[in-house]
Amino acid sequence: MSKRPSSQLRRLPKGGRIDRSQIVSFTFDGRTYQGHAGDTLAAALLANDVHLVGRSFKYHRPRGILTAGVDEPNALVRLGRGAHAEPNLRATQIELFDGLYAESQNRIPSLKFDIGAVNSVLSRFFPAGFYYKTFMWPASLWMTYEHVIRHAAGLGKAADDHNDPDRYERTHAHCDVLVAGGGVAGIMAAVSAAESGARVILADEQNEFGGWMLGEAGVEIDGKPAADWVSTMVDKLAQMPHVTLLPRTTVFGYMDHNFLTLTERVTDHMPSRPAHLPRQRLWKVRAKQVILAQGAHERPLVFAGNDLPGVMLSGAVRTYINRYAVVPGQRAVIVTNNDDAYRTALALHDAGAHVIIADLRATAKGPLITAATAAGIEILPGHAVINAVGNLRVGRVEIAPVTADATAISGDIIYRDCDLVAMSGGFSPAVHLHSQARGKLQWDDKKLCFTPSTTHEPSVNIGAGNGSFELATALREAVRAGHQAASLTGHRSSMAAAPAVVMTKQSWQPLAAWKLPNGHAAGKGPKAFVDFQNDVTATDIGMAAREGYQSVEHLKRYTTTGMGTDQGKTSNINALAILAEALGHDIPAVGTTTFRMPYSPANIGAIAGRDIGALFDPFRRTRMDAWHQAAGATFEHVGQWMRAWYYPQPGETMQQAVNREVKAARTTAGLLDASTLGKIDIRGRDAAEFLNRIYTNSWQKLGIGRCRYGLMLKDDGMVMDDGVTTRLGDNHFHMTTTTGGAAAVLDWLEEWLQTEWPELDVTLTSVTEQWAVATLSGPKAAQILQDAGIDIDLSPASFPFMSMQDAHIGGLPVRIFRISFTGELSYEINVAARHGLALWRLLMKHGAAHGLTPYGTEAMHVLRAEKGFIIVGQETDGSVTPLDLGMGWIIAKSKPDFIGKRALARNSMGYEDRKQLVGLLCKDPETVIPEGAHAVLDPSQPLPMDMLGQVTSSYFSPNLGRSIAMGLLKGGQARKGQTVYFPLLDGRVLEATVTDTVFFDPEGERING
């Protein structure tokens, strides 16, 4: 009994690189088919005689499989179901697995009957630039147009569930030599380099190494069939520990300094994806030397009906026969401008198909032509296919004799029935990566292609990608490139001889024919496609040229040729050749469009890697965090820190919780986790002098154990950061910074020390996380510390405001700063971070009897606002000076210098209309003015209103029983007592009085409890 299922009509009984023992079932557009392991989806569809696989983008024309690889413009499918579905994948690259589920795209409702095809009938009204011409006017309707266009256009549909369930990851890699492309040239180069001991990465986008040679018959390398040579060499590489083989890996980006990006499809080909493996992996490779062995892409010929299913590239037909044992048609017509298509003719003939060759060249000669003649294949020299017709698949071609340059029909048309047309318009080296790295190209007017020339990266092109289509030449280049790359990376390498090659000779000089004649006037006749994916015809390009789109870059944007997922791999050269012809220029004068990454589409998931969910950005948590969480705190982001925001009790709103916390801090006591404040240990003989230069006020005379508040300015005189700094010893200070500014301040200080003041004896060490900090604030604070077992005298006389003492609380060594951000009696208790949680628990335990209440950052904000204390970054925005804040008292004008002093002396710093900090009391005490609200003097003035400034902080103050706010108003200090208005987005206009910024305890009587 045959293992070949009867459904695979077009499968050859033997041959190919498929595993016939493994029969694989798959579903395409709801129908189940069978194929073999080793097939691509395209190969398996062709084995089942399915050519119609999609509808085109603009005209919804039926489209088939054109290629056998990455260059495929037509056969795009949506793979998988539900959240795993992925659109726009090329059937020519999808490895077949059991249970594979794929759907065609761009058809409503089905492939065979698509109502969108009405666009094709109406195509006279859809010329190049149709959207630009039609939807320009009126501009206000663009939003409506866009909605319809986006639905009608676009390629496939993304997954229904936008939460991608798959794992992805990124990895870095380094190597001496990266070889991009694992055809025979790439393999040879990798072996040549690796034999010296060089670290080599060999990457190829296919499941198997070997490239084009896997689809070629009758080729011998080093006395073996090419495929056997390939497996010998790959085995050899696999044995070398310093070689990394990456199949299923596309090198898609080539950046400066030999930094390249690769996508490895790790589990895409598996019927079920193991949970421990990423679906795809992005490789970020830094290579000392790069060898580009990307190969070449075959070009279509541009003739009427060249987009019908069943019209394929010649080399692809040969690959399906030799690699997949699939014959895509039984009655084949070949149209070519070169020798290579004769190999396809022979392969088809050997596979039992009937073949006719229309050769554009009148006098082609050579061993392949001789072989085809000997095989009895009908050859029509000097003939072109001028039209292909059929419904959903090619059924007949019109062939005509053409002039020597193939631009005009020179005789009677012949009609031939067929089910397959194989076309070859020559080959274009894949110069994409070379060009991405800004390498230059040159036009080869014999081979009719752009080949790589100079580059500023340490890289070299070899093989077909270098225009060296001849196998023996490619292998010689590969051996030399590998040897040189190894030598250049410091490895002792001796150059081996390139292996001997047996392959029928052919000419690599095609006839310069791009667009074949059709017997109609320019712009008339059936459509001949240049860009299949974007439905761009030869006529469109001619029209664009006539309309003045003469630059190839403009042509691309106007006609969309070369856009889309294939980025014009099959169409670019034809398009610019036709443009050159229309303009009367030569091809190099027209040039190419810019090649940009990615070479082929890269999955966004792989680029994100594991930077998603909880790992998107680190959450930094303090050492007391476990307590806050257990207490049910709500957290807020402060930079990367998660700080306790407020601690709602059951049934409490945020406002109620904050009010309770704020009240407690002024009536009993409150406890704040202040661990996140930046802390910098400053030491050295010049430490005081350093602070004198950094801060605006004076530091030389600060006594040991005393604290001082400081403002730090940028050199433009604007407030940068603030905090309290304490003198621990003659040459030793402890600086605190804002939570968000900690890292930037340390960098800022280091920069001044290292670049401007290297003569100062000062060292800085971040101790932010060495200390956990609990701030105990309120009238009962001292009592609680005593109950908790503090071993120092807390009386204001022996422990005055703005001083520091070392002490023990319950046996824990602590450093206590008597400073206050609330205006209450307050202690900032620092303890070695490992004891932070214990300190917090101890204080809460002994504070319970005194009504100690933990408070979060929101209550902290309210408490400081009641006292008119600023928060850098809230009252300031990089354009605010100390004078603007009403803090002129902190500037020591007598100091010879400090950062920002010179800037503060500018005239503009004294302008009366500078925005200045003021207090604001809303007329309605229950209404809290929104932060960011803009003030105006006259709310009835016409728009745009003259703005005075904006609210920077605004809260409800439970201690005052009313709302309070601060804001920056133009000339604000002179406006005290004035009424200003806040017109809001919701139509309300709030009225407020300008006041002083200190709302509570203006005499500061509460500081000692």
Partner 1 sequence: MASSADPRPWLPGEPALADRPSLAHPNPAGGDYGITLRELTHAGKINLRGGTALQAPATKVTGCASLPTANHFVSAGDRHLVWLGPDEYLLLCEAGAETELKQRLDNLIGTSKAVATDVSDALCALELRGPSIRQTLAKGCSLDLHHSIFTAGHAAQTALAHAGVTIIAHSDDRFWLLCRTSFAAYVQQWLCDAALEYGVHFTN
**Binding-site ranges for partner 1 (CB under 8 A):** 169-174, 199, 274, 276-278, 284, 286, 609-611, 614-615, 617-623, 625-626, 640-641, 681, 683-684, 761, 763-771, 788-789, 791, 808-812, 832-838, 841-842
Nearer to partner 1, 456 or 610 (CB): 610
Q: Which is nearer to partner 1, 138 or 758 (CB)?
A: 758
CB 286 to partner 1: min, Å = 8
Judged by beta carbon, residue 778 or residue 836, the one nearer partner 1 is 836
Distance CA 955, CA 130 (A): 56
Q: How far apart are CA 594 and CA 438, in angstroms?
A: 9
Q: Which is nearer to partner 1, 710 or 836 (CB)?
A: 836
Kind of pairing between the strands at 669-673 and 771-777: antiparallel
For partner 1, the closer of residues 284 and 663 by Cβ is 284
* 176/921 Cα distance (integer angstroms): 69
Q: Which is nearer to partner 1, 563 or 694 (CB)?
A: 694
For helices 552-559 and 572-583, the axis angle rounded to 10 degrees is 110
Q: Which is nearer to partner 1, 46 or 746 (CB)?
A: 746
Token output for 319: 């690959």
Identify which of residues 20 and 284 has a Cβ nearer to partner 1 in the complex: 284
Residue closer to partner 1, measured from CB, 248 or 623: 623
What is the longest distance spanned by two Cα atoms in the chain? 117
Question: Rounded to an integer, what distance in angstroms lies between the CA atom of residue 10 and that of residue 326?
Answer: 5
Min CB(626)–partner 1 separation in Å: 6
Question: Nearest distance from residue 80's CB to partner 1, in Å?
Answer: 22
Alpha-carbon dihedral sign for residues 726, 728, 729, 731: negative
Distances (CA, A) of 384 to 22, 448, 524, 532, 573: 42, 19, 18, 20, 20
The CA distance from 114 to 76, in Å, is: 16
Pick 373 or 765: Cβ nearer partner 1: 765
**Distance from C-alpha of 308 to C-alpha of 385, rounded to nearest angstrom:** 13
Q: Which residues pair with 10 in a beta bridge?
A: none
Question: Which of 40/830 has CB closer to partner 1?
Answer: 830
* Cα distance between residue 53 and residue 75, in whole Å: 6
Q: What's the CA gap between 25 and 35, in Å, rounded?
A: 6
User: Which of 683, 745, 680, 687 has its CA nearest to residue 711?
Assistant: 745
| Contact partners, residue 728, CB within 8 Å, separation at least 6 | 704, 705, 734, 804
Structure-token pair, residue 128: 């190049």
Give the H/E segment covering residue 917.
strand 915-922
Smaller CB separation from partner 1, 506 or 766? 766
CB of 786 to partner 1, least distance (A): 10
| Rounded least distance, CB 252 to partner 1, Å | 19
- The HSE-up count of residue 911 (CA atoms within 13 Å, CB side) is 11
- Rounded to a whole number of angstroms, the minimum distance from the CB of residue 935 to partner 1 is 39
Nearer to partner 1, 420 or 728 (CB): 728
Closest approach of partner 1 to the CB of residue 708, in Å: 22
Residue 96: which residues within 8 A CB-CB, separation 6 or more? 24, 26, 35, 36, 37, 38, 39, 40, 41, 43, 44
DSSP 146-198: HHHHHHHSSSSPPPSSSS--S-EEEEEEEEEEEEE--BHHHHHHHHHHHTTT-
Give residues with Cβ within 8 angstroms of 164, minimum separation 6: 83, 605
Report the alpha-carbon distance of residue 156 to residue 309 in Å, rounded.
19
Rounded to the nearest whole angstrom, what is the least distance from the CB of residue 194 to partner 1 in the complex? 14
- Report in angstroms how near the CB of residue 248 gets to partner 1 at its nearest: 16
Q: For partner 1, give the closer residue by CB, 279 or 447.
A: 279
Provide, rounded to whole angstroms, the least separation between the CB of residue 167 and partner 1: 8
**Shortest Å distance, C-beta 753 to partner 1:** 11
For residue 252, what are the CA distances in angstroms to 97, 248, 771? 25, 12, 47
Angle made by CA atoms 855, 858, 861, in degrees to the nearest 5: 105
In sequence order, the β-bridge partners of residue 296 are 429
| Minimum distance, C-beta of residue 619 to partner 1, in the bound complex (Å) | 7
Report the residue number, 197 or 381, with the smaller CB distance to partner 1: 197
CB of 284 to partner 1, least distance (A): 7
Of 779, 781, 853, 851, nearest to 817 (Cα)?
Answer: 781
Would you put residue 222 in left (φ > 0), alpha (ψ -120 to 50) or beta? Answer: left
Least distance (Å) from partner 1 to the CB of residue 730? Answer: 11
Nearer to partner 1 by Cβ, of 17 and 732: the residue is 732
Quickly count: other Cβ atoms within 10 Å of residue 541's Cβ: 28
By the 8 A CB rule, do 915 and 884 touch? yes
C-beta of 34: minimal distance to partner 1 in Å? Answer: 31
CA separation for the pair 312, 436 (Å, rounded): 29
Copy the structure tokens of residue 168.
């992805």
Whole-number minimum distance, CB 766 to partner 1, in Å?
Answer: 7
User: Closest distance between partner 1 and the C-beta of residue 434, in Å?
Assistant: 24
To 5 degrees, how large is the angle CA 547–CA 551–CA 555?
Answer: 60
User: CB of residue 389 vs partner 1: minimum separation in angstroms?
Assistant: 54
Nearer to partner 1, 534 or 768 (CB): 768
How far is Cα of residue 861 from the mean position of the Cα atoms in its chain? 38
**Pairwise CA distance, residues 879 & 892, whole Å:** 20
How far apart are the C-alpha atoms of 918 and 968, rounded to whole Å?
A: 6
Q: Which of 681, 877 has the CB closer to partner 1?
A: 681
| 846, two tokens | 């002994």
Three-state SS at 686:
coil
965: tokens are 């706010």
